[in-house]
Amino acid sequence: MKVALIQMRVVAGNVIENRAHGLALAAEAAQKAEVIVLPEIWTIGYALKEIEQWAEEETGPTITALQLIARQSQVTIITGSLPYRRDGKIYNGAFVINPAGEIIGDYQKVHLFNLMGEQRFFAAGSKRCTFELQHTTGGLTICYDLRFPELFRATTQDGATVIFLPAEWPASRGSHWRTLIQARAIENQIYICAVNCVGQHRENTFYGHSMIVSPNGDIVAEGTDEEAIIYGELDTGIVEQVRKGMSVWQDRRPELYR
């Protein structure tokens, strides 16, 4: 399975140009990959005070345009996260679009990042997300979720062999990014496909270094701190091999973890 991570430069508040640029990159990646992944809140960035103005419906222009790309190129698209409205609330949420252009999964960010004031602008999600992905199961998380291993363990227990993580992660905590991604992959014996953005918002420079990490913790593909499309191959068949080689799942003691 060939995956493309869209590590794009996001300009906070520049929604029209961000959207056009992200869609162009997604269309380019769709010519080479089977699964396309965009970063966190890539249309608006951390211009959170403008969320009310720019939050879309699920049938809004960004999702609709990505559905068209998915249909035309016969690819799966992980939309990255977008500010969108549902039931009178605004969420930081991501969608999964299959090659027929259908939405087959959605996830609202469960752990809101209080240091950036997300709780003042977004409602928190309350469910996990898994979805069918070719001959395996995918899962979805967003950025700050990476610091909560319980969510990754539970999503893996739901059947996921690859978890996608759109993010807008700062360079000041770049070492955490790499360490935590590899840890989540190793401890759950799954692939992690983490896509970050680049650029700057006020004093925050975003780290880039989008990466695909294997169930052994090996880095399959990684970006730099520059805008790029990062391509990598996933062989989900190795998940079972890794689990046979290191019997973590059989050796767990869940009765002691509660």
Domains in the chain and their CATH numbers?
2-256 (3.60.110.10)
Which residue in 109, 118, 193, 197 is the catalytic one?
109
The pLDDT tens digits of the residues spanning 8-52 come to 999 999 999 999 999 999 999 999 999 999 999 999 999 999 999
Task: Indicate if the pLDDT at residue 224 is higher than 90.
Answer: yes
pLDDT at 203: 82
Confidence of residue 112 (pLDDT cuts 50, 70, 90): very high
d(CA 168, CA 150): 21
The pLDDT tens digits of the residues spanning 167-217 come to 999 999 999 999 999 999 999 999 999 999 999 888 889 999 999 999 999
Task: Indicate if the pLDDT at residue 108 is higher than 90.
Answer: yes
The answer, as to whether pTM is greater than 0.95, is yes
Confidence of residue 117 (pLDDT cuts 50, 70, 90): confident
pLDDT at 258: 81
pLDDT at 179: 98
Provide the b/e sequence for 25-49 (b: ≥16 CB within 10 Å): bbbebbeebbbbbbbbbbbbbbbbe
Which residue in 34, 118, 129, 143 is the catalytic one?
143
Chain-centre distance of CA 3, in angstroms? Answer: 12
Q: 255 an active-site residue?
A: no
Average pLDDT over residues 53-61: 93
pLDDT at 204: 85
d(CA 119, CA 45): 15
Q: 40 an active-site residue?
A: yes
